[in-house]
Chain A
């Protein structure tokens, strides 16, 4: 079984400050890891994914995440927050053995508030 824990259901950052969203996973097999963003009343948009290539993954909108196997973590960062980053962010894991990675296990989400 797989699980994802996102530390902090809400994060408040000032515009221009570092954004750090924490994600820890549990998986008995090599995982694929994902970060998705969800804006109000919308579906999920993929920010970035780790699929066993480079451990530092760069995504859209200036976000990046680092896979650390020893810590079972996949934290998401952005050096400088923008007002448009206000949204909910979900970390997800899937089993590499399952084709297409479409069966995703999500964390509970972290809502980001950006203060001017």
Chain B
């Protein structure tokens, strides 16, 4: 089991550009959540996808959008990048139903905006 995989691991973008981050969930999981972790802080919830729809959303602007594909993989898109978007972006997967409430995290994508 490959667990949760994210790509790319690192990238550098210029202010104003757009970026797409990708996540493949753990086998058997159907729900994907995205988190932003700024340097020295705890992760902040961006949004969650289930059945290809955004199910929950945190306090992030519309510049942050996502998508979930039929195979449960997901993308996070950020438009009009700000310097403040520089962070580690974490993807977490889980099963929506069932007794287990454990979310498994990927290694993250380190985004640097210059």
Which residues of A are at the interface with B, using a C-beta cutoff of 8 A? 4, 32, 36, 41-46, 49, 51, 90, 92, 94, 98-109
Contact = CB atoms under 8 A, between A and B. Distances in A.
Nearest to B106: A43
Contact of A103 (B40, B56, B102): B56
Nearest to B91: A43
Contacts, number: 73
On chain B, which size bracket covers the interface?
20 to 34
Interface in B28-80: 31, 33, 35, 40-45, 48, 56, 58
A46 B92 CA distance: 12
A100 B45 contact: no
Nearest to B3: A43
Contacts of A44: 43, 90, 92, 105
Nearest to B57: A103
A43 B42 contact: no
Contacts of A45: 105
